[in-house]
Amino acid sequence: MDVVSWSVAAPAIGSAFAASLVEVVEAFTIVLAVATMRGWKPALLGAAAGLAVLGLLILLLGPLLDRVPLHLLQLVIGVLLLLFGMGWLRKAILRAAGIIALHDEAAIFRSRQAQLKTGSGEAALGWVAGLAAFKAVLLEGLEVVFIVIAVGAGRGLLWPAAMGALAACACVGVIGILVRKPLANVPENTLKFGVGVMLSSFGVFWTGEGLGIDWPGQDLALLLFAALFLSVGLAAASLLRQPRREALH
């Protein structure tokens, strides 16, 4: 890839990597809980089944993307990105302000372990455990696929975005195999804040393009949107944090 292409592909790869990292960590936590309580066989079988269903969906639905008119695709993806990005950013702001608790992978891991401990019948529990792994991989995987499509479709950047997502899966997989504990040290809220900013910025950009708005500076407008969303997010988190400090004095 030449220098010009890298400058276009890099945001897609980076966005897909960061957003996918959060989803893959969540799926990994559940698969690890299943493996710890019920063994690696149901965990890996469930995860493999989830990946197989995901692969089938991509193979069946992927080619349909090329048949959708470009402006319509930009508009639909832009709106979905806005909904997704603003939802993530809202939660990240509330967590940064201390209004809601930070996402705790270790607590989720313990909770899943407790759920898998109860009940009777080893064979039935094996199925339940495998199903938990299957659901986790399928649901989080669907969000990764959506992120890849949203970030890459319509601009010929599906493969760079997919590469970013695959890199995230590989990172979590390798670290997970080495550590074999919930990845509790991933700064999840910081990542979600950044990803929320990026997805919201892409959302505004694509929605505008889909409605026929030619943003000044084209792709450079994304940087401006990201800076503005980041500023608004940080300002909101700071302001929401203040009433608690005042209450303490």
Partner 1 sequence: MFLADARLSLATLALVGIVAVLSLAVHAAPLFAGAILLVGCFAILIEATVREARRRRR
CA dihedral 51, 63, 197, 9 (to 10 degrees): 100
Question: Whole-angstrom Cα distance, residue 15 to residue 208?
Answer: 19
Identify which of 194, 180, 137 has the alpha carbon closest to the alpha carbon of residue 19.
194
Nearer Cβ to partner 1 (104/180): 104
49 binding partner 1? (CB under 8 A): no
In the shown chain, the binding pattern of residues 186 to 215 toward partner 1, with x for contact by CB under 8 A and - for none, equals: --------------x--xx--xx--xxxxx
DSSP 155: T
97 binding partner 1? (CB under 8 A): yes
87 binding partner 1? (CB under 8 A): yes
Identify which of 148, 155, 146, 160 has the alpha carbon closest to the alpha carbon of residue 205.
155
Query: Two tokens at 116?
Result: 């898998």
Q: Shortest gap between Cβ of 180 and partner 1 (angstroms)?
A: 29
Identify which of 169, 184, 197 has the alpha carbon closest to the alpha carbon of residue 88.
197
Residues of 185-215 as b/e, b for ≥16 C-beta within 10 angstroms?
A: ebebbebbbbbbbbbbbbbbbbbbbbeeeee
Q: Which of 44, 79, 125, 234: binder of partner 1 (CB under 8 A)?
A: 79
Q: Which of 17, 28, 84, 134: binder of partner 1 (CB under 8 A)?
A: 84
> Roughly what angle, to the nearest 10 degrees, separates helices 40-61 and 3-38?
140
Q: Binding residues for partner 1, how many (CB under 8 A)?
A: 34
119-158 binders of partner 1 (CB under 8 A) = 143
User: SS3 of 109, please?
Assistant: helix
Question: Whole-angstrom Cα distance, residue 77 to residue 172?
Answer: 27
Nearer Cβ to partner 1 (154/176): 154
228 binding partner 1? (CB under 8 A): yes
Q: Which of 53, 131, 166, 240: binder of partner 1 (CB under 8 A)?
A: 240
Choices 29-37, 116-124, 182-190, 232-240; region in contact with partner 1 by CB under 8 A = 232-240
82 binding partner 1? (CB under 8 A): yes
Q: Which of 49, 51, 58, 90: binder of partner 1 (CB under 8 A)?
A: 90
Choices 13-21, 75-83, 129-137, 154-162; region in contact with partner 1 by CB under 8 A = 75-83
Alpha helices in 187-219 (DSSP H): 188-210
Nearer Cβ to partner 1 (160/203): 203
DSSP 63: G
Residues that bind partner 1 (CB under 8 A): 79, 82-84, 86-87, 89-91, 93-94, 97, 99-100, 143, 200, 203-204, 207-208, 211-216, 225, 228-229, 232-233, 236, 240, 243
